[in-house]
Amino acid sequence: MNSSSPKLTLGPVLFNWKPERLRDFYFRMADEADVDCVHVGEVVCSKRTPFFEPFIPEVVERLTQAGKEVVLSSLALIMSDRELEAARGLTDAEGVLVEANDISVAAMMAGRPFVAGPLLNIYNEGTLGTLEALGAVRICLPAELSADAIATLAKSTKAEIEIQAFGRLPLAISARCYAARARNLAKDGCQYVCADDVDGMAVETLDEMPFLAVNGTQTMSYHVMDLLGDVGGLAARGVGRFRLWPHTYDMVAVAALFRAMLAGAVGRDEAEDRLAGLCPGAEFANGYVHGRPGHLFVD
């Protein structure tokens, strides 16, 4: 169970941003964002990897020089020999933690320290203990857990517990690409149309009610997770890190707001008003952590 001051993590960019935009985003995070750790790497679709890969060394160097811890995130679904070889290359990285988002990557670490990502479906002490035995020193829990469940898991492990605190939630990953299908394209000839939806594509019910978002092969929540008002209580119950998922919002300002809440420097109502101003059009939710349906916002 973690007892040090809570930290802020910037998760990997899940969306298909243009390489130069992604590079500049990370440069700004290095220079201006008050976060302790930044994740870099492609999680959703390996077809995107070649475009940003040439920029990774300078991005990692810029972040490291700025005093940020860097974690290299793996794909969430490994389906080909090429992706498997890329994962093996990732696990050979020296001097940097790797986040395993596919269980095969956790196995490849062979006892070396790694981060267990939120897509590994860690819902009980048995799974948590298995990953810890494999070498997990930090575990990012899935978003569906209540505060009581999070506290129970935090008490059962020596690994650092991280939870998702802001952004559209990654819920599932598929071998099929809905973004391509929605435009009558095959996955192999997708033309990278997911780049058109820089924060994900909203999906509606037959009654025209938005309820999910799609990011290429990934299904996400439509609502934006907002645990601003809950971070203090969760930190007191053993959460060591809070993850902010990158969006096209001003993430420097979002991180500053979460830092202020952790420090007790701003009240909840004021913080929520300021976050709403930073994320125009966003519909916030925090239901899961309160043991309620995930799309609800519990005041």
Distance CA 298, CA 296 (A): 6
Which pTM was predicted?
Answer: 0.95
Q: What pLDDT was estimated at residue 93? A: 79
Residues contacting 64, CB < 8 A, separation 6+:
70
Q: What pLDDT was estimated at residue 2? A: 46
Residue-range domain boundaries for the chain: 7-290
pLDDT digits (tens), the chain, 299 positions: 444 789 999 999 999 999 999 999 999 999 999 999 999 999 999 999 999 999 999 999 999 999 999 999 999 999 999 999 999 998 887 888 999 999 999 999 988 999 999 999 999 999 999 999 999 999 999 999 999 999 999 999 999 999 999 999 999 999 999 999 999 998 889 999 999 999 999 999 999 999 999 999 999 999 999 999 999 999 999 999 999 999 999 999 999 999 999 999 999 999 999 999 999 999 999 999 999 999 999 98
Distance CA 121, CA 104 (A): 14
Q: What are phi and psi of 113, to 5 degrees?
A: -60, 140
The token pair that represents 271 in the structure block: 């913080």
Burial 69-97 (b: 16+ CB within 10 A, else e): ebbbbbbbbbeeeebbebbeebbeeeeeb
Distance CA 293, CA 276 (A): 21
Q: What pLDDT was estimated at residue 110? A: 81
CATH architecture for residues 7-290: Alpha-Beta Barrel (3.20)
Q: What pLDDT was estimated at residue 92? A: 84
